[in-house]
Amino acid sequence: MCGINGVWLKDKVIDKHKFDIMRDTLIHRGPDGAGTIMAENEQLAFGHRRLAFMDLSDTGVQPMKSADSQIIITVNGEIYNYPELKNILEKAGHKFISGSDSEVIIHGWKEWGEKLPEKLNGMYAFALWDNKQKLLFLARDRFGIKPLYYYYNDNEFAFASELKALVEWNINIKDIDFSSMADFFTYRYVPSPKTIYKNVYKLPPAHCAIIKNVNTISLQEYYKLSDNIKLDKNLDIYRYVDDLLNNSVKKHMQSEVSVGAFLSGGYDSSALVSYLFRNNISVNTFSIGFKDWKQSEHQYAKIVAEKFNMPFSCKILDGESYGLLEKLVYHYDEPIADISIIPTYEVSKLAAEKNKAVISGEGADELFAGYTWHYENMNLQKQQGVLNVFYAKNNRAFSLEAYSRAMAMGHLRLPELKELFKPDLHKYLPDDSDWFYRKHFKKEFSGLNSFRYLDIKCFMGELVLTKIDRASMANSLEVRVPFLENSLSENLFSLNEKVLYRNGHQKYLLKKIIEPYMPEEILNRKKQGFVGPDSYYFNKNWYAGIIETSVLISDEILQENVLDSWLKTEEYWKLWKFAIMEYWYRRWMKN
């Protein structure tokens, strides 16, 4: 995987030395090499930090130009269907000079133009300059596996894989958007297209952007999930999904360097390892455990590794790992309060000692309906005998507001936010705290699919995939996610709810597929997230120390009495969000 950046100035030449410093803030994303291309009388620059997997020769170096110099690209990603696209393009007369999957983007643009992202199967964020049309084109993959940030004004447009590169280029963009800070306390992240800074944006997943004249930008959504795909009624759905999964895993193992696997001992990562075993592929597996915790996942991961005869590495965490937060807020750029940010960073660090890439199980819970709220939704449907529980009386589980509570881990809406923030900041607080969920709520979908869609667009796309990207790339490790392959994800999302949930079992379909290969201890495990014990996060003295020295309090942003009341009532998930924001604020606004 890689880091990309670019700048387009309207009226002056780019300082290349300054630009290369901007580029090299992303060295952790690409330690294998660096490149810069200047164009448009040195008013346009593309940068690239390389983490090499395919075509390790110099022909794969980026940024990359077309033979006629019409197109320049800088790409962060892997295009898994590039052999098929390359074959189509060669038949159409295109000539390739490398074995790089990125070169497909150059020729694909010439052939399909703005329709190009619709053709791509992979994880990516890329920028493309078309010298003939004098336009800049940005695109991000369907689910937001890879990040892309940008800002613009009357005189310049800049983009990068991470916010820190934009800050390096122009420190004046560090102007906090307090509505985004409020969103963070609601969602645990800042929702797209917003960022923590005013006038700086995330390109949303499944979107492309066309930029002309530096400051004229048009966003387009090029892909939408649908639950209307019609499958043959006589189809053996178990064999069909099994084949799709198997093919996806094989695609994601394409590399000229070895690929390992994260392994938690849950259905998702264990399923991926079982497919590797069935294809006679042996890989290093990596897990994290927690000291003195009976439910620690490393125990189950070891069972799976031994079952499939895979090399196994594990690290055990304790309370001392809190010290990592100061480092993590640098790598995450924006405050992200997922409770697994520390174990995800640590397992990435462990894996990077032996591999440059791993496969991981992100996306399976969303697509196979594996979350607690899916279980509650389906049980409620069964009890009430209705197809859509949104409108059922006494719906204790699945109103949009209940979904918000389930996702919040310390629920804060407008009344609580007004208590938390100083009065002079109240004008920035969103009137509708759940605006992002409401934006992505699809009434036309069935009850379960409405919430699976919210999970994909909000929880997975904004929190889960951001967390895994930053934690892994901080360690120069690429994480590949086979469950999010195009055809697999499309077909899984279209399946009837009864296939996903049966006889009181979540992930029934996945369980039936892996049942012949998996140990009973794994098949009968209760669902558990990639987290530590509650006691790991419920450290009252630690939170008290952060409140006592809080810069958010001394800078007149948050109310000390409210934080003290959280401490007294042991509102630890709210305090976790406060702690993350406090560490972020100290690192990015005071240093």
pLDDT in tens, 270-286: 999 999 999 999 999 99
The verdict on residue 427 lying in a domain is: no
As a whole number, mean pLDDT of residues 147-168 equals 97
As a whole number, mean pLDDT of residues 377-406 equals 60
The verdict on residue 381 lying in a domain is: no
Domain shared by 11 and 80, yes or no? yes
Q: Taking the alpha carbons of 405, 408, 414, 419 in that order, is the dihedral positive or negative? A: positive
Q: Residue 389 — pLDDT band, cuts 50, 70, 90?
A: very low
Domain shared by 260 and 342, yes or no? yes
Position 325, amino acid:
L
CA distances from 295 to 156, 169, 170, 270, 525 (A): 52, 46, 46, 17, 10
Domain shared by 326 and 203, yes or no? no
Domain shared by 185 and 149, yes or no? yes
Give 195's Cβ-side CA count (13 Å radius): 25
Alpha helices, DSSP H, located in 192-323:
237-252, 267-278, 298-307
Task: From 159, 192, 221, give the residue that closes a domain.
Answer: 221
pLDDT for residue 384: 55
**CATH label of the domain that carries residue 283:** 3.40.50.620
**51 phi, psi to nearest 5 deg:** -115, 105
Task: Return the SS3 of 502.
Answer: strand
Domain shared by 85 and 119, yes or no? yes
Per-residue DSSP letter, 142: T
The verdict on residue 294 lying in a domain is: yes
**Residue 391: pLDDT above 50?**
no
Domain shared by 153 and 198, yes or no? yes
**331 phi, psi to nearest 5 deg:** -70, -30
Q: What are the E-state strand segments in 51-183?
A: 64-65, 71-79, 122-130, 135-140, 149-152, 156-160
The verdict on residue 34 lying in a domain is: yes
pTM of the model: 0.94
Q: Are strands 285-290 and 312-317 parallel, antiparallel or unpaired?
A: parallel
Give the whole-angstrom CA distance, residue 547 versus residue 480: 38
Domain shared by 174 and 84, yes or no? yes
Task: From 221, 249, 274, give the residue that closes a domain.
Answer: 221
* 2 catalytic residue (yes or no): yes
Q: Residue 295 — pLDDT band, cuts 50, 70, 90?
A: confident
Q: 113: alpha, beta or left, given left = phi > 0 and alpha = psi -120 to 50?
A: left
On whether the CB atoms of residues 131 and 124 are closer than 8 A, the answer is: no
Q: What is the pLDDT of residues 213-252, one digit of tens each?
A: 988 999 999 999 988 777 777 788 999 999 999 999 999 9
Lowest mean pLDDT among 124-133, 166-175, 504-513, 528-537: 528-537
Tokens 């709520």 identify what position?
441
Q: Residue 505 — pLDDT band, cuts 50, 70, 90?
A: confident
Domain shared by 479 and 527, yes or no? yes
Per the structure, the count of domains in the chain is: 3
* Boundaries of domain holding 575: 538-591
Q: How many residues in the chain?
A: 591
CA distances from 480 to 21, 275, 358, 589 (A): 28, 15, 6, 33
On whether the CB atoms of residues 135 and 206 are closer than 8 A, the answer is: no
| Dihedral angle over CA of 221, 227, 229, 235, nearest 10 | 140
Q: Please, what is the average pLDDT of the chain?
A: 91
Task: From 196, 221, 246, give the residue that closes a domain.
Answer: 221
Give the whole-angstrom CA distance, residue 357 versus residue 339: 23
Q: Taking the alpha carbons of 167, 76, 207, 133 in that order, is the dihedral positive or negative? A: positive
pLDDT for residue 394: 39
The verdict on residue 384 lying in a domain is: no
On whether the CB atoms of residues 179 and 427 are closer than 8 A, the answer is: no
The verdict on residue 441 lying in a domain is: no
Give the whole-angstrom CA distance, residue 462 versus residue 408: 13
**CATH label of the domain that carries residue 104:** 3.60.20.10
The verdict on residue 510 lying in a domain is: yes
Domain shared by 341 and 303, yes or no? yes
Q: What is the pLDDT of residues 416-472, one digit of tens each?
A: 999 999 999 999 999 999 999 999 998 888 778 888 999 999 999 999 999 999 999
pLDDT for residue 506: 80
3-state helix, strand and coil shares in percent for the chain, rounded to the nearest 5: 45, 15, 35
The structure tokens listed for 181 are 């800070």
Domain shared by 483 and 527, yes or no? yes
Domain shared by 179 and 81, yes or no? yes
Q: Residue 390 — pLDDT band, cuts 50, 70, 90?
A: very low
The verdict on residue 583 lying in a domain is: yes
Domain shared by 115 and 191, yes or no? yes
pLDDT for residue 449: 87
pLDDT for residue 246: 97
pLDDT for residue 392: 41
CA distances from 524 to 450, 506, 519, 521 (A): 28, 12, 9, 5
pLDDT for residue 55: 55
